[in-house]
Structure 1
Amino acid sequence: MTRFSLRAGITSLGAMALFTAHAHASSVLPSDEAQDLIVYKVKSGDTLLELSRKYFVSSAGISQVARINQLQDADRITVGQSLSIPRQSVKHWTSVARVMGMSCASSYTAEQGNTRLTVGTPLHEGALLKVPAGCHTALLLEDSSIVRLPSGAVLKLSTLRKNALEKAPEVRLELATGRVELEVMKERSPLTPFEIRTPRSVMGVRGTQFRVGFSPDTQGSLVEVTQGVVKTQGTADAESVDLTQGMGVTIDASGKASAPEALLPAPRYASFSKSPNHPTELSVQLQHMDNAGSFQADIATTANLSGLRRTQQWANPEFKIDQLINQAMFYQVAAISKNGLLGTPALMAFCAAPVSAEQARCSAVFETPLAEGASITFTLNRQNAAAHQEVIRTGHLTAVNGKFAVKDLQPGHYSWSLSYPLAKASADQAGVYQSGAFELIALPTAAP
């Protein structure tokens, strides 16, 4: 196989103006019984008495485990044997969610507590977040899952705890209004609950990227799956609905889920034109899409959609960009169906080409607000036909003020990943892992 080499540069950034995981494993909504049980594989030297001393809240757990596993002799368990242990019998403690990104004119205070939220603020079980208008907040869970809350969302961390037998935290979220976007780490055990509820539905997930919304005005919910599988159920439904990648449902005010429908595909860039009245303004046209009722874009200055993120909607597949510069501006664009479901997003990065698009060399900024001097592992590849051209691979990148930039990028399709440990975190904190892809599009800015 031939390896191509591209030249690019990385620079750390000082103060400046200000998704996604490769999850593909199937997700399940555990039954009530499965949700309450932890599976433990017996190791050499284990006895129920010793397990009770290490992990159980009280010695009463011994008889519970013996009964559930139908043990003839509680003193005899064998190496490799799988024991089902009631979750409520196991010692647990609070888990922590950290604010990993904020796009607000100023910080705000969680409903329960007096601490004003800033990047790095820890949040615990019971915290209630009401995201102000014009804000966007991202939370990092201890297993590296990410919860994104756009403007107007109201979310309660109803359960956020860890126990002595499972690596990932138990997570239960309640969405009262607005939307929430989740990137759930695929390594989570399917028996460790990760659940999100609205007043009309409940979703159980593992290894997925998906969105949930609830409107107090219509009392309706919606679920949109962009990666993995989610099992969702309306409060009035007798059975759950399996939603695979690229599918969504709406749930009406009575709690009944609609039939699953395919999400609209990712929009594609078509062309651009210059405004005759505004010399710095460009109009970007997307390819025509059947059944699209409108279009939406999350706009940010960073490839991982942090920083000054804002949302815009348009009735037609066309939007305007003003004053492009060498540094790319990122537009995560999606089509909205006539039923209100947000389709598969496409991340487009636009930058200025002073001479021609072919000769353009642009920069892309990444934000790592929780790195605090830690070494960042970063990879960037450019896709060329069927080949991947390695642009950058490093395990020793550092950022300044939580940002770094990749320079001298040619237009084209890119994929990336980054990871770093958290400073001042517990030993079992997974750290940060993010990955994604974007199309870099250079638009001429010189007068014709």
Structure 2
Amino acid sequence: MTRLSRGLGISWLGVTALFVTHAHALSVLPSDEAQDLIAYKVKSGDTLLELSRKYFVSSAGISQVARINLLEDADRITVGQTLSIPRQSVKHWSSVARVMGMSCASSYNPEQGSTKLLVGTPLHEGALIKVPAGCHTALLLEDSSIMRLPSGAVLKLSTLRKNALEKAPEVRLELANGRVELDVMKERSPLTPFEIRTPRSVMGVRGTQFRVGFSPETQSSLVEVTEGIVKTQGNADLESVDLTQGMGVTIDPSGKASDPEALLPPPRYASFSKSASHPTEVSVQLQHMDNAGSFQADIATTANLSGLRRTQQWATPEFRIDRLINQAMFYQVAAVSKNGLLGSPALMAFCAAPASTEQARCSAVFDTPLADGSSIAFTLNRQNGALYQEVIRTHNLTALNGKFAVKDLRPGYYNWSLSYPLAKASADQAGVHQSGAFELIALPTAAQ
């Protein structure tokens, strides 16, 4: 089966809709009508008249709120009461998406013509982003959600705005080609729309991480859930399928969904060997996985995968590294099942150990292109038995040319988090918040 999320145009399943909720949520995403309502908890001193003056586009919002909430007396609302307020009746203004990473020059169309993107470029509602073949672009939203656009993606920011009653921006995207990878802020209200449309379907996102693909060659589709809950239905299915974390389905050309199956677990490093003909070349072997049909990796020079990134596929659990240096190279590796589903990823960082692996000390680079002189809060922990031991904790880290390096790291498992405000940003801009984990693997480079 053709790998479905390999830079192919996503045509969106032929399903009616795809709904997503938080992992802990008990019900599915609200209907389109419910998503057009804002939940507001009444505070001391609130009246509908005062709310109208502060937040509504016009006084007509008072009668709308009274009708929707079945208020017998529009002058009487109680503290703690939750009101449903139509989104279109609330004042709004433009939100901003900023370019936070790119591997080569992309372009966008703000209204007419074409303009090159640069790191830090602010993008507004209506912008059309075009990512050239072989490139990669990452965008940061005001609530710290991150969108990653791989090679060939064409994405329009059809709605990008904030209103006076919600913290997170309303986001509606139109994907015309390729794919988009989302890491959406988990604290978003389930009623604040984050929606992606393609020519054939619509998807609502609620603090979840997942992948969707469509292969024009086979006319088959897939859904893979790495975090959260996805509710999906093929157009030939009588009932929907609830997919939880670590589950996936394929949908055949007739629109029939397969039985849900568990995604393959993260691959694990097994061993390495050196090339007899190329002294600098190393071959890495992964542990055998019975149901794996192939393997795929996103390769980057930084631990947070924000900058330069490329993708490779292998038919067997083995891949080649041309040259190892003291600075770690990051491989986000996942196994692909025989049904074409991409499994849970493992982030492996490979570096050179000139003497022995026990004495190896390597460096890891982190990408912070929007820090621009801001102080960076950074935490790094190393696993020690069943616990993690703190290696670094600072609130005053500074970056050079949008990057910083952590040196003298021993091989092992690490987790990390970083955050920093954006220079010259609005007061309600959440800034950058990222976290992750990796296994640092040092391989000897000296002759055996």
TM-based fold match above 0.5: yes
Whether the 8 Å contact between 2:236 and 2:256 is mirrored in structure 1 is yes
Partner of 2:50: 50
Change (3 A) 1:141 1:255: farther
Whether the 8 Å contact between 2:44 and 2:79 is mirrored in structure 1 is yes
- Following superposition, the deviation at residue 223 of structure 1 comes to 2.5
Provide the C-alpha distance between the structure 2 equivalents of 1:158 and 1:411, rounded to a whole number of angstroms: 45
- Following superposition, the deviation at residue 234 of structure 1 comes to 4.7
Change (3 A) 1:58 1:254: farther
Partner of 2:352: 352
Question: What does 1:273-352 correspond to in 2, within 5 Å?
Answer: 273-352=273-352
Whether the 8 Å contact between 1:264 and 1:292 is mirrored in structure 2 is yes
Partner of 2:142: 142
- Following superposition, the deviation at residue 122 of structure 1 comes to 1.3
Partner of 1:87: 87
Partner of 1:181: 181
Partner of 2:9: none
Provide the C-alpha distance between the structure 1 equivalents of 2:34 and 2:101, rounded to a whole number of angstroms: 34
Change (3 A) 1:87 1:257: farther
Partner of 2:108: 109
- Following superposition, the deviation at residue 422 of structure 1 comes to 0.6
- Following superposition, the deviation at residue 308 of structure 1 comes to 1.9
3-state secondary structure, aligned to 2:179: strand
Partner of 1:389: 389
Partner of 2:69: 69
Of residues 154-163 and 116-125 in structure 1, the stretch that sits farther from structure 2 once superposed is 154-163
3-state secondary structure, aligned to 1:88: helix
Change (3 A) 1:177 1:236: farther
Whether the 8 Å contact between 2:106 and 2:132 is mirrored in structure 1 is no
After superposition, give the CA deviation of every residue in 1:2-39 in whole Å (9 maximum; x if it has no partner): xxxxxxxxxxxxxxxxxxxxx85548422122111111
Whether the 8 Å contact between 2:246 and 2:262 is mirrored in structure 1 is yes
After superposition, give the CA deviation of every residue in 1:312-347 in whole Å (9 maximum; x if it has no partner): 111111000011000000000011122322111100
How high is the TM-score relative to the length of structure 1?
0.90
Of residues 238-247 and 304-313 in structure 1, the stretch that sits farther from structure 2 once superposed is 238-247
Change (3 A) 1:83 1:111: closer
Change (3 A) 1:363 1:146: same
- Following superposition, the deviation at residue 110 of structure 1 comes to 4.1
Provide the C-alpha distance between the structure 1 equivalents of 2:163 and 2:234, rounded to a whole number of angstroms: 30
After superposition, give the CA deviation of every residue in 1:212-249 in whole Å (9 maximum; x if it has no partner): 33344445443322122233445665654322111123
Whether the 8 Å contact between 2:106 and 2:130 is mirrored in structure 1 is no
Question: What does 1:17-56 correspond to in 2, within 5 Å?
Answer: 25-26=24-25, 28-56=28-56
Percent identity between the two aligned chains: 87
Q: How many residues align?
A: 425
Provide the C-alpha distance between the structure 1 equivalents of 2:132 and 2:253, rounded to a whole number of angstroms: 25
Question: What does 1:132-211 correspond to in 2, within 5 Å?
Answer: 132-211=132-211
Answering whether residue 406 of structure 2 is matched by residue 406 of structure 1, we say: yes
Partner of 2:18: none
Matched letter for residue 348 of structure 1: M
Partner of 1:10: none
Provide the C-alpha distance between the structure 1 equivalents of 2:92 and 2:315, rounded to a whole number of angstroms: 50
Partner of 2:8: none
Provide the C-alpha distance between the structure 2 equivalents of 1:231 and 1:159, rounded to a whole number of angstroms: 24
Change (3 A) 1:338 1:87: same
Change (3 A) 1:110 1:438: farther
Change (3 A) 1:28 1:425: farther
3-state secondary structure, aligned to 2:107: coil
Matched letter for residue 122 of structure 1: P
Question: What does 1:192-271 correspond to in 2, within 5 Å?
Answer: 192-234=192-234, 240-253=240-253, 256-271=256-271
Whether the 8 Å contact between 2:131 and 2:150 is mirrored in structure 1 is yes
- Following superposition, the deviation at residue 273 of structure 1 comes to 0.4
Matched letter for residue 360 of structure 1: A
Whether the 8 Å contact between 1:200 and 1:255 is mirrored in structure 2 is no
Partner of 1:20: none
Whether the 8 Å contact between 1:177 and 1:215 is mirrored in structure 2 is no
Whether the 8 Å contact between 1:135 and 1:150 is mirrored in structure 2 is yes
Provide the C-alpha distance between the structure 1 equivalents of 2:291 and 2:310, rounded to a whole number of angstroms: 25
Provide the C-alpha distance between the structure 2 equivalents of 1:50 and 1:90, rounded to a whole number of angstroms: 13
Partner of 1:433: 433
3-state secondary structure, aligned to 1:179: coil
Partner of 2:7: none
After superposition, give the CA deviation of every residue in 1:272-330 in whole Å (9 maximum; x if it has no partner): 00011111100000111122111111111100012221111111110000110000000
Identify unmatched segments of 5+ residues in structure 2. 1-21
Matched letter for residue 86 of structure 1: P
Change (3 A) 1:237 1:82: farther
Matched letter for residue 92 of structure 1: H
Change (3 A) 1:367 1:287: same
Matched letter for residue 398 of structure 1: T
Change (3 A) 1:85 1:206: same
Of residues 119-128 and 414-423 in structure 1, the stretch that sits farther from structure 2 once superposed is 119-128
Whether the 8 Å contact between 1:250 and 1:258 is mirrored in structure 2 is yes
How high is the TM-score relative to the length of structure 2?
0.90
Provide the C-alpha distance between the structure 2 equivalents of 1:422 and 1:237, rounded to a whole number of angstroms: 47
- What value does the CA root-mean-square deviation take over the aligned residues? 1.9
Whether the 8 Å contact between 1:201 and 1:234 is mirrored in structure 2 is no
3-state secondary structure, aligned to 1:52: helix
Partner of 1:100: 100
After superposition, give the CA deviation of every residue in 1:341-377 in whole Å (9 maximum; x if it has no partner): 2111100000000001111000000000000000100
Provide the C-alpha distance between the structure 2 equivalents of 1:248 and 1:97, rounded to a whole number of angstroms: 30
Partner of 2:6: none
3-state secondary structure, aligned to 2:180: strand
